[in-house]
Structure 1
Amino acid sequence: MTQSRLEYLGPSAGQAPRAKPTIWARLPIAFIIVVVVPTLLAAIYYLLIVTPRYVSEARFVVRTAQSGGPGAIGAALQGVGLAPAQVETFAVHEYATSSDSIRNLKQNYDLAKIYAPRGLDILSGYPRFGEAANADALQKAMRRYVTVGYDSTTGISTIRVQAFRSADARDLATALLESGEALVNRLNERATNDAVEAARQAQVRATERLAEAQNSMTAFRSEERFIDPATTLNPTSQVVGSLMASVAQLRAERDQIAREAPQSPQLGALDGRIAGLEKQIAGAQERMTGGAESLAPQVGAYERLVFNRELASRELASASAALLAAEQSAGQKKLYLERIVEPSLPEASSKPRRWFSILSVLVSTLFAYGLGWLIWSGVREHRQD
């Protein structure tokens, strides 16, 4: 029976043993490309290259001094959750990064020099890598350096300005607040001027209507040759009343004579007098209420003219009172921008958040790698099936 033998097969003579693979060699090449390289570049940039930025912070509130209920526009804005003061607050927010605000800043500050890239950092400054050097690009860049927030609970706005020097950040924040105050003053001035001008135009229109009504009355008096038809009609009415009283008295006298002496010759005379008075009464009544020479149409036309004049006079009085009130309130501000916290002078840089940024890159690349690995595994299993 043959005896089995175990032989040790090792490296041949003169051949060195294989080296143990390193941790980098055991990592998939995709993991190195997707995760390791971006994280390493982010660490190099944020720890060695990036320029620190200082943040100056200020807080303000825009309030209104208007008393009473809101107007139609204010009521509509409140219906969707916006109070009138909030509208002006958001206007200041939009103005802070607008082209007009940047144009004002450029009159006193060299923004291109303040935000010029430092050293090897070509991503933090203006213009950064791949960015043009023009007004539109500067406006977009300022939106990276200037942020404005709003607390709906307290109504307080917070403005934050970033710069590579703490003094520049504070100065720019102060200048933006001053620009916001100038905007609020312009809104005040425009609202006041519009109110005064509207009241003045209303007074002019009321004056013209009153003059027109007065001219119509003058033309009517010249044409009809009456100062006041109603005044002319009053004596005629009094005469008619007196004649009717006389007729009543004569009728009573005739009735008495007819009862006592039916054959009295006085009855014919009384009948004649009564008939004459009744004829006079009929003529006077026709002159007042009917006929071609009646005063009734003139009285109606005159009363309409008087009504129009009184209406125009009252409208002029109301317009004059409104103009006086508008002129009195012209010197009173309706909106105020009040600084709660003045722009700070930061002693240490707070941007960028280096380790947070590096960790964000790491987590993002890990997520991307894991998602890609899952997709690739599914595709590979599908091919095997």
Structure 2
Amino acid sequence: MNLFKNKKAIGLPMVLGIIVFVIGITTALMSFIMFQSSLVQIDIDQTEDYQNAVTSVNAAVQIIAREENLETDFLQSLETYFNVDITAMNSGVYSITSMIDTSNQVISYMTGSAGNSNIVDSLFSKTGGETDFSLSPLITPTTMISTFLPDYISQSFPWITPETGFTSFGQLMDYVEDLAKANSGFQYKKPKDLEDQWNPTAWWNWYVDGDVDIDKEKRGPIKNLTVPEGQILFINGDLTMNEGSTIYGNVVINGDLKIKDKGNSIQSVLGTIYVNGDVEIEGNLLLGTIEHPTFIFAEGDIKVDKADGVGYFLCDEFDSKNNSDITGGVYVTEKADLPTGGITANTSIDSSMLYDFAIPSTIETETPDQGTGTTFVYTFPKLT
């Protein structure tokens, strides 16, 4: 303390040096604190523990499928080797799980007795709220689009022999990207090819590489997104729409979907959307009709402020409590917060109408008796 009071004891250069030193230490300390804070905020699916869990579960299910072996001793040896938990569920389905921490896990589902099921009978004929309804863990957005795509390619591009057996959303997107870059059936595009249009339209089976934001022109008209009938738009990124907009047609999104709201605007989805992420739709959402329902399938959660019309939703968690009036179905792997009146069944849906909506008419699921099928089917490891 006396050192600083004695003018002869310290000169200005030293004072400045001390100040710079203190500032440097403080800056470094703050940077370290912010760095530590950012580490805490990193998504769990970007961590090494998550990647290791996915690798372990994926290896286990592939070995089981390759060996076609569900014997107890064999499964126990895989549990020990890969540090996973394999549990027999109902109807011949097994869960394969790897814990990341006390609240997060990676899980895959498998059956050794899969058979083709009519998707209307097993899914769309139900509202999802029946006491006897149970969603098959093998029916996911990924398995649905993976089942539909080879048939679509065969019919739309007969010169292409389609690949099959996709086990992840990303694998399917990589395949379509390869076709687009080779200009084989699909066309490779950048986000601006859609965003800069006055009336954004994916003219011919587009694969768009990057996030897409369909924003309305300043003081201009609302911009919709249109995919012509008989075609599919693939977006390798997020899709953001703005207030009053409508999505027409069939879209596959390798990311999140967000539709914004302003005031009392009404947004619409008149088509089928597959989302490898979450869906958030603000404000009022107008769904489809009996003849042309809306279908939104998400690997993550779906939140809709208010929805009216005919629609079907498949996701982890669903939230739409604000006086929504939905005819169709809501199918969840976790929980659903529904309107007070619940969901009204649509008795008019028929499997013959599904192809135009980019939905398979049949899908492989577990059979009631394990001896009636021999096909091994599994889902890609998923964070829950």
Q: TM-score, normalised by structure 2?
A: 0.19
Higher helix share: 1
Higher strand share: 2
Larger RCO (CA under 8 A, 6+ residues apart): 1
- Greater Rg by CA: 1
TM-score with structure 1 length normalisation?
0.19
